[in-house]
Amino acid sequence: MKKSEKKSDNKQAIFDISKEENFPDWYTEICKVAELADIRYGVKGFTPFLPWSVMSMELMFDFLKDVLHKKGHLPMIFPTVIPESNLTKEAEHVDGFTPQVFWIKDYGEDGQLEEKLALRPTSETALYPMYSLWIRSWRDLPLKRYQRASIFRSEVKSTRPFLRGREFLWIESHNVFATHEEAKAQVMEDLETTKEVVTDIYGVPVMVFQRTQWDKFPGGLNTYAADTLMPDGKVIQLPSTHDLGDNFARAFDIQYLDENNETRYAFQTCYGPAISRIYGAMISVHGDDKGLRLPYAIAPYQVVIVPIFKAKNEAEVIAYAKKIESNLQKADVRVHLDDRDTTPGWKYNYWEMKGVPIRVHVGPREVKEEKIVLFRRDLMKREPVPLKSLVKEVKKLGLDIDKTLLTEAESKFEGLIVDADSIGKIIDALDHGKIARIEFCSTNMDGYDCAGQIEERTSGEIRGTRIDIEETPESVCVICGKPAKEIVYIARSY
């Protein structure tokens, strides 16, 4: 692994490290050198996010909110704290989250709260008592709401900026329906939203699984989660969506009068895309040994202009660069003119490390010929184009960059799944960064002990069953030898 080296002008170090040889160090270093996060805050799992990452995450939030709005969701904002009495109303839910909850008990020097308050680990128990007040009739349904929020969980595993922390940023949608069929249709809509936004815009391909009954959302009926593959062969969960049935409605008395004036319990779903975690996965999937490679759609600067000049032609080159900047701004392109007093070569390396999709080079020749040179970060290629075609070529190139990044990421999924009929073959697949496909006794609680043996012996976890294809087992469970009822997928994960 090569270390970053300081330049003589004391500007920030340029990134140069091997992602393939040592992904954990690559990730830690890029978060530091690209100024994405600062782990020196002093509280485990709580990390300040810095402008370069925040600007992208704001755009990611915007895209997701736009899609939710188009699909009928409306925004709301709820308090960060949840009374203990609310949290404990749904017994299975609280049992699932209690070990991770941060509690507030005191205030001031000597004050003690009458009731403990939980820092929001997720918002069902905060929202649903209010839903029981808001929903009275079938005319109030469906109710589709979301909020952007911070979530707090006392993560016991090792923490890492964006990927795993004790506070993370997400959007959560919470929806209420008259029938279970409508709720199940919402789950499918949520999975479509994941593809439309996480894959098609952020460029992160996913595999969607129905989780096992021991790995589902506490208190719900079924959980469906999107996993993506990280560079070290592990998978990480990105958005998940949950069919809650009427379990929470019964716990929180969410009832409505139907068209026959009969009282019925509602059915609910919830969906939680964690933008900070998706951001961490996105930079991991797309980055290379030179640093970040950001999709054009969510890059803080889509274009950076680098002027190249000597003292005698500085004025005309800078004027030309400012003209380019103005033209791009008018076309709603996020553009930055880098006129710092340092060498063009250092600027090239710096912006490659930061992952800016397109770089514009302009010097005396380009001024004279009314041209520019476009450099695309994804393929590290440059091409001269006429100034009059600037906006058209930039936008065309941006679309192609995003398409290329997604295609490259999807190629990592080719040959990813390996059939395994023994513990040894499962271990071999996982050791080579693959996902093992096995026949398994049951994803209901009957299979819990077999799943525990798999985790203990392979350090892998059952991710669930595929929902995009139908698969029929034909043999026996790899562990207990009983007739297999399911085909499941095993991977090591974050």
The confidence score (pLDDT) of residue 9 equals 44
- Do both 151 and 252 map to the same domain? yes
- Do both 248 and 181 map to the same domain? yes
**Contact at 8 Å (CB) between 291 and 355?**
yes
- Whether the per-residue pLDDT at 3 is higher than 50: the answer is no
Structure tokens belonging to residue 442:
């049951």
Compute the distance between CA of residue 412 and CA of residue 233 in angstroms, rounded to an integer.
Answer: 10
- Do both 77 and 172 map to the same domain? yes
Residue 482 neighbours by CB under 8 Å, 6+ apart: 441, 476
Average pLDDT of the chain, as a whole number: 93
Domain for residue 408, yes or no? no
Compute the distance between CA of residue 279 and CA of residue 287 in angstroms, rounded to an integer.
Answer: 12
- Considering 286, 310, 338, which residue would you say is the last residue of a domain? 286
pLDDT in tens, 309-345: 887 888 999 999 999 999 999 999 999 999 998 999 9
The confidence score (pLDDT) of residue 1 equals 38
**Contact at 8 Å (CB) between 357 and 302?**
yes
Compute the distance between CA of residue 37 and CA of residue 17 in angstroms, rounded to an integer.
Answer: 18
Q: Which residue has the tokens 């192609």?
A: 400
- Do both 35 and 162 map to the same domain? yes
Taken in order 191, 196, 202, 207, is the CA torsion positive or negative?
positive
Supply the range of the domain harboring residue 338.
Answer: 301-400
- Do both 280 and 305 map to the same domain? no
Residue 400 neighbours by CB under 8 Å, 6+ apart: 376
- Do both 247 and 306 map to the same domain? no
- Do both 90 and 170 map to the same domain? yes
pLDDT in tens, 280-316: 999 999 999 999 999 999 999 999 999 998 878 889 9
- Do both 389 and 483 map to the same domain? no
CATH code for the domain of 434? 3.30.110.30
pLDDT in tens, 98-121: 778 999 999 888 889 999 999 999
Compute the distance between CA of residue 448 and CA of residue 468 in angstroms, rounded to an integer.
Answer: 24
Total domains in the chain come to: 3
Domain for residue 54, yes or no? yes
Domain for residue 410, yes or no? no
The confidence score (pLDDT) of residue 232 equals 92
- Whether the per-residue pLDDT at 96 is higher than 90: the answer is no
- Considering 371, 400, 429, which residue would you say is the last residue of a domain? 400
Residue 257's SS3 state is strand
Domain for residue 147, yes or no? yes
Domain for residue 411, yes or no? no
CATH code for the domain of 317? 3.40.50.800
pLDDT in tens, 53-66: 999 999 999 999 99
CATH code for the domain of 276? 3.30.930.10
Compute the distance between CA of residue 35 and CA of residue 12 in angstroms, rounded to an integer.
Answer: 10
**Contact at 8 Å (CB) between 480 and 441?**
yes
Q: From the CB of residue 167, how many other CB atoms can be counted at a distance below 10 Å?
A: 16
Compute the distance between CA of residue 158 and CA of residue 129 in angstroms, rounded to an integer.
Answer: 34
Domain for residue 1, yes or no? no
- Do both 435 and 390 map to the same domain? no
Compute the distance between CA of residue 63 and CA of residue 54 in angstroms, rounded to an integer.
Answer: 14
Sheet holding 81-83, edge to edge: 81-83, 111-119, 102-107
Domain for residue 64, yes or no? yes
- Do both 48 and 179 map to the same domain? yes
State yes or no: cis peptide before 142, omega within 30 of 0.
yes
The confidence score (pLDDT) of residue 93 equals 75
The confidence score (pLDDT) of residue 100 equals 85
Which amino acid belongs to residue 219? Answer: G
Domain for residue 12, yes or no? no
Compute the distance between CA of residue 357 and CA of residue 324 in angstroms, rounded to an integer.
Answer: 17
Closest CA to 333 of 369, 374, 293, 364: 374
- Do both 390 and 280 map to the same domain? no
- Do both 443 and 354 map to the same domain? no
- Considering 286, 318, 337, which residue would you say is the last residue of a domain? 286
Compute the distance between CA of residue 170 and CA of residue 239 in angstroms, rounded to an integer.
Answer: 10
- Whether the per-residue pLDDT at 6 is higher than 90: the answer is no
State yes or no: cis peptide before 344, omega within 30 of 0.
no
Structure tokens belonging to residue 74:
């409306």
Confidence of residue 468 (pLDDT cuts 50, 70, 90): confident
